[in-house]
């Protein structure tokens, strides 16, 4: 069968094919994408926790074999890069069962102008993401909020030069749950704790728009950030059935072997991270952010998805 030319072509699963045909034929309008933020939380570790099998006994804590050598022992090669990922519950309406990075939709209160802020101003972020100031502020705040909600890591500190050293206490868990149930906003939480949002700890990475074949669509801006010293991720449940720190190359290999589910934006981003090699390199590499919208085409009546971008599709 002839397949579309150009970028990597993926045959749409039957669950999406019918809606894709309806949208392409004009029988139903495509859903309007919702603004969203996604964060690749990175750390330097030579070994990763497994993707398959039961969750690690202490989520976010490196296995013994991955810890630095003792004093006096020769150092090995420069540590590789690991990224924090979650496997979405199979009951979720969007991307059920897929391995993803922390992230979610922008909340209206993420645009609160009263949020304490350190780092590049909203106008700078607006130029990066081609967004007005209020949306740029909301995207950065959503990135920080979603990271805290889904990993327990907070990119904020008592000052513009410091970051919270520990968020593992019961009081922090109560704050995280308050964000989840929307009884408190990020700006209110930071103000009560006298903290400053550290926008300088985030790096813009990419922008992916869900294809028209999906009934739920997002305009997701991707960020990268290093795990702050002293903080630890933890399995906070919620939308995640499993969490793990993984090497990007290992996640891609698992995706190729059908051991895990990776959606195209995640797979491409993992390949980009793998090419960086280290956390420092990933955060230093200049990124040109432009909208990436996978195209849906019909070939002999079969819907195909063409993956955009300069990175070769890794799956």
pLDDT tens readout for residues 169-178: 999 999 999 9
> Which pLDDT score is estimated for 62?
33
Closest CA to 314 of 258, 261, 252: 252
Model pLDDT for residues 276-287, shown as the tens digit of each residue: 999 999 999 889
> Which pLDDT score is estimated for 13?
82
Q: In DSSP terms, which residues pair with 198 in a beta bridge? A: 118
List all residues 6 or more positions away from 243 whose beta carbon is below 8 Å from its beta carbon: 55, 59, 60, 84, 85, 86, 87, 151, 233, 235
Distance CA 34, CA 92 (A): 17
Distance CA 99, CA 84 (A): 10
> Which pLDDT score is estimated for 60?
37
Please classify residue 13 by burial: count the beta carbons closer than 10 Å to its beta carbon, then call 0-12 exposed, 13-18 middle and 19+ buried: exposed
Distance CA 25, CA 213 (A): 12
Q: What is the 3-state secondary structure (H, E, C) of the chain?
A: CCCCCCCCEEECCHHHHHHHHHHHCCCCCCCCCEEEEEEEEEEECCCCCCCCCCCCCCCCCCCHHHCCCCCCCCCCCCCCEEEEEEEECCCCCCCCCEEECCEEECCHHHHCCCCCEECCCHHHHHHHHCCCHHHHHHHHHHHHHHHHHHHCCCCEECCCCCCCCCCCCHHHHHHHHHHHCCCCCHHHHHHHCCCEEEHHHCEEEEEEECCCCCCCCEEEEEEEEECCCCCCCCCCCCCEEEEEEECHHHHHHHHHCCCCECCHHHHHHHHHHHHHCCHHHHHHCCCCCCEECCEEEEECCEEEEECCCCCCCCC
pLDDT 10s per residue in the chain (315 long)?
343 445 688 888 887 888 889 998 899 999 999 999 999 999 997 544 555 444 443 333 333 333 333 444 444 456 799 999 998 755 544 555 788 999 999 999 999 999 999 999 999 999 999 999 999 999 999 999 999 999 999 999 999 999 999 998 999 999 999 999 999 999 999 999 999 999 999 999 999 999 988 889 999 999 999 999 999 998 776 665 688 899 999 999 999 999 888 999 999 999 999 999 999 999 998 898 999 999 998 888 888 989 987 778 898
């Amino acid at each position: 069968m002839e397949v579309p030319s150009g970028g990597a072509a993926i045959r749409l699963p039957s669950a999406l094919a019918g809606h894709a045909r309806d949208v392409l034929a004009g029988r139903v309008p495509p859903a309007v994408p919702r603004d969203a933020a996604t964060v690749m939380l990175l750390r330097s570790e030579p070994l990763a926790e497994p993707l398959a099998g039961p969750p690690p006994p202490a989520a976010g804590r490196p296995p013994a074999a991955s810890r630095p050598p003792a004093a006096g022992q020769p150092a090995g090669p420069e540590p590789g890069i690991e990224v924090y990922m979650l496997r979405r519950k199979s009951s979720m309406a969007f991307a059920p069962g897929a391995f993803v990075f922390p992230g979610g939709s922008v909340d209206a209160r993420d645009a609160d102008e009263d949020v304490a802020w350190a780092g590049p101003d909203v106008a700078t972020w607006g130029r990066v993401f081609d967004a007005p100031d209020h949306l740029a502020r909301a995207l950065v705040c959503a990135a920080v909020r979603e990271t805290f909600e889904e990993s327990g890591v907070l990119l904020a500190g008592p000052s513009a030069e410091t970051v919270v050293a520990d968020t593992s206490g019961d009081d922090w868990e109560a704050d995280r749950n308050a964000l989840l149930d929307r009884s408190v906003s990020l700006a209110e939480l930071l103000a009560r704790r006298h903290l400053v949002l550290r926008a300088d700890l985030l790096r813009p990475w990419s922008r992916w728009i869900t294809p028209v074949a999906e009934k739920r669509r997002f305009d997701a801006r991707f960020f990268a950030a290093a795990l702050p010293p002293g903080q630890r991720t933890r399995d906070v449940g919620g939308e995640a059935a499993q969490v793990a720190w993984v090497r990007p190359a290992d996640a891609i290999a698992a995706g190729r072997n059908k051991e895990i589910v990776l959606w195209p934006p995640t797979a491409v981003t993992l390949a980009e991270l793998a090419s960086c090699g280290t956390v420092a390199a990933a955060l230093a590499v200049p990124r040109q952010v432009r909208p990436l919208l996978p195209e849906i085409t019909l070939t002999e009546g079969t819907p195909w998805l063409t993956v955009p971008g300069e990175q070769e599709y890794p799956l």
